[in-house]
Amino acid sequence: MADVPENAPEHCPGTTSEQAGKSAPCQGCPNQKLCASGATKAPDPAIAEIGEKLSTVKHKILVLSGKGGVGKSTFSAHLAHALASDTTKEIALLDVDICGPSIPRIVGLEGEQVHQSGSGWSPVYVEDNLAVMSIGFLLSSPDDAVIWRGPKKNGIIKQFLRDVDWGELDYLIVDTPPGTSDEHLSIVQYLSATHVDGAIIITTPQEVSLQDVRKEIRFCQKVKMPIIGVVENMSGFVCPKCKNTSQIFPPSTGGAEKMCADLKLPLLGKVPLDPRIARSCDEGRSFLSEVPDSPAAEAYQKIVKSEFVFRKTPTQMSIVQSVTIKGQNKSCVT
Amino acid sequence: MADVPENAPEHCPGTTSEQAGKSAPCQGCPNQKLCASGATKAPDPAIAEIGEKLSTVKHKILVLSGKGGVGKSTFSAHLAHALASDTTKEIALLDVDICGPSIPRIVGLEGEQVHQSGSGWSPVYVEDNLAVMSIGFLLSSPDDAVIWRGPKKNGIIKQFLRDVDWGELDYLIVDTPPGTSDEHLSIVQYLSATHVDGAIIITTPQEVSLQDVRKEIRFCQKVKMPIIGVVENMSGFVCPKCKNTSQIFPPSTGGAEKMCADLKLPLLGKVPLDPRIARSCDEGRSFLSEVPDSPAAEAYQKIVKSEFVFRKTPTQMSIVQSVTIKGQNKSCVT
């Protein structure tokens, strides 16, 4: 699914397109014969293997946002913690943020390592019923940079889905990096032979954030990923001294509320800024059990227990996307 | 510089490596002959063209952070505004965040479009001496998603550097997305035939952010990019009612100050949280001229006027990187 290799001619139609090997720019390209043979259009066999492997996972939820730093990893970790509080359920949390894996720190597993077993890589456990996988467990030091272009990131995501011994799961939560690029296309592609409940979209109230989030919503629509709902984080800050509420990231265009109304999406809830959330994440403890009666913890609990998150209609996704850049007539890479 | 194409065999040494076409996994690969011929190791001719094109740009500064949502675009835009306040200088701001371009909104140019001229694409002007380029100017709607894998993102970054009519510039500021992947490797690669002043690294005080930022610092060290210094954003919030200061993202491991001391990097300054910053960004106005006497604007001004930002020693970069994943012995893609 590379579609357009780096060494492709300028108007390469993409190695998986119908025109691969046949269009004018293909003339003289070293890959022309290969593309024309149809070999590049064959689906990756890993998709079927992953479909088989994850057939024992009842629910799959992706946590997405076009914007970075809005609390995707914090939400993912706390959703996993909240689901795992029912000890009859088996939960797993997969971090596909390859260049900025925050999950090991947030769930208190920094420095842990993955072990190889007969049935694949073993995830690392936070609780008996909460398994975690992240590239952070494969690095020699938490400060190591993973300086990888897309294909290697896609390769490790494939391994996380295919080669990890996930076992039987009730919920698989997938935390993602910001954007609408390799990691997002790959996770959708690799899960395309399974059923996915949908995506929870995280934002903050200001327009600069919502703008990127609307792009992520477009992405979901294009790949036919159902949207479970939207969570607004950093929604107001109550001064601990005088109890005055400040909008630190002001919802100048109406915040998530207006966006959800415009786009007809459920707003799952608004979580206020609370310094204890960031501190708990830094210290690898669950904010929900540290300060369970805080307004932020209550907002979180309400969201993760909402009917939207628990709905029972996993859906098959598509992997057809296109975007037009003005005057360029370029379609997107899948 | 794809290095490892998507359709490559599992242990592909990379198309630009010394082993390309010659190692064991190359046997049976459809690209073996091409790789063995050495054609894939030839440098992209665009690198020399970009070197020539940007030879009239005196200073080039990259704004980086491993973490999203810490204020890279806000800082980039305000650095450009501050430099452009000297009307004898020509400034340009290039946004290489392809999937989440915030710059058009922040500088008040949303909805503007790029024009084609005889000497290339014309950037869009905020002021007579402040030119801006972003993929946002090429989209039909600000909500359009750019669903592209790495190679297409790299292609547009190349076009931004090579095909935009930048003219003679005193400063080119490059705003980047979070991470250490395609956009970062490409900008470093494409600027490798020119001289770059260095990178300004943006962070917020909490450890979960610093952890990703240390990865970006590793990236700079690996590609031999000088680090101008570090800016800590969202550093405390003063309640507008009672003037009490809250650490909303607590520096639980010492914040940017300790990180800079540990890594021997200059801390350029700390900018407090101020809701008027987010609001100005949403409204496309410069915070520096809106509320010039606020503590946050003063902190910004002090940073952009510091001797570090104005130092005069642009440096040639390298593009050799490697990272080892435990038990996998994989080196990075360049």
pLDDT confidence band for A97 (50 / 70 / 90): very high
Distance from CA of B88 to the nearest CA of A (A): 31
DSSP H or E stretch at residue B73:
helix B72-84
The per-residue pLDDT for A330 is: 42
Residue A229 marked ligand-binding: no
B143 contacts on A by Cβ (under 8 Å): 211, 214-215, 218
Is the CB of residue B315 less than 8 Å from the CB of residue B196? Answer: yes
Positions of chain B with pLDDT lower than 50, given as ranges: 1-2, 320-324, 329-334
> Looking at residues A316-322, what average pLDDT do you find?
51
Beta-carbon contacts of residue B85 (< 8 Å; ≥ 6 apart): B288
Please tell me which of the candidates A68, A148, A323 has its beta carbon nearest to residue B69.
A68
CB contact under 8 A, A151 and B324: no
Beta-carbon contacts of residue B177 (< 8 Å; ≥ 6 apart): A68, A178, A179, B68, B96, B97, B98, B99, B100, B183
CB contact under 8 A, B282 and A73: no
Please tell me which of the candidates B100, B209, B328 has its beta carbon nearest to residue A179.
B100
> Looking at residues A72-88, what average pLDDT do you find?
96
The per-residue pLDDT for B317 is: 62
The per-residue pLDDT for A111 is: 94
Residue B70 marked ligand-binding: yes
Instruction: Estimate the crossing angle of helix A207-222 against helix A255-263, to 10 degrees.
Output: 30
The per-residue pLDDT for B314 is: 63
CB contact under 8 A, B241 and A240: no
> Looking at residues A229-245, what average pLDDT do you find?
95
Nearest CA in chain B to A272: B248
Distance from CA of B48 to the nearest CA of A (A): 17
Residue A129 has pLDDT above 60, yes or no: yes
Distance from CA of B131 to the nearest CA of A (A): 20
The per-residue pLDDT for A332 is: 38
- Residue A124, classified by CB atoms within 10 Å of its CB into exposed (0-12), middle (13-18) or buried (19+), is buried
Instruction: Estimate the crossing angle of helix A275-283 against helix B207-222, to 10 degrees.
Output: 60
Residue A332 marked ligand-binding: no
Residue with token string 């610093």: B210
Residue A320 marked ligand-binding: no
The per-residue pLDDT for B193 is: 94
Please tell me which of the candidates A100, A219, A240 has its beta carbon nearest to residue B215.
A100
B178 contacts on A by Cβ (under 8 Å): 68-69, 99-100, 177-178
Residue A314 has pLDDT above 80, yes or no: no
CB contact under 8 A, B181 and A116: no
pTM assigned to the model: 0.89
Is the CB of residue B51 less than 8 Å from the CB of residue B194? Answer: yes
ipTM value, please give it. Answer: 0.88
Residues A9-64 pLDDT 10s: 777 787 777 788 888 888 878 778 888 887 777 788 999 999 999 999 999 999 99
Please tell me which of the candidates A69, A181, A204 has its beta carbon nearest to residue B67.
A69
Give the torsion through C-alpha atoms of B237, B241, B242, B248, to 10 deg.
-20
The per-residue pLDDT for A42 is: 79
Please tell me which of the candidates B113, B246, B326 has its beta carbon nearest to residue A240.
B246
B323 contacts on A by Cβ (under 8 Å): 144-148
Q: Which of A148, A206, A285, A321 to mutate to test the interface with B (most CBs of B within 10 A)?
A: A148
CB contact under 8 A, A7 and B116: no
> Looking at residues A300-305, what average pLDDT do you find?
91
Encoded tokens for A79:
């959703």
Residues B241-254 pLDDT 10s: 999 999 999 999 99
- Residue A5, classified by CB atoms within 10 Å of its CB into exposed (0-12), middle (13-18) or buried (19+), is buried
Number of cross-chain residue pairs from A and B with Cβ atoms under 8 Å apart: 325
B144 contacts on A by Cβ (under 8 Å): 215, 218, 323
Please tell me which of the candidates A99, A139, A140 has its beta carbon nearest to residue B181.
A99
The per-residue pLDDT for A7 is: 65
The per-residue pLDDT for A67 is: 97
A204 contacts on B by Cβ (under 8 Å): 69
CB contact under 8 A, A180 and B34: no
CA neighbor of A161 nearest in space, from A64, A72, A62, A47: A47
Distance from CA of A303 to the nearest CA of B (A): 22
The per-residue pLDDT for A318 is: 57
DSSP A259-287: HHHHHT--EEEE--B-HHHHHHHHHT--H
DSSP H or E stretch at residue A61:
strand A57-64
**What gap in Å lies between CA A282 and CA A127, rounded to an integer?**
18
| Residues above pLDDT 90, as percent of chain A | 75
Q: Pairing relation of β-strands A237-238 and A245-246?
A: antiparallel
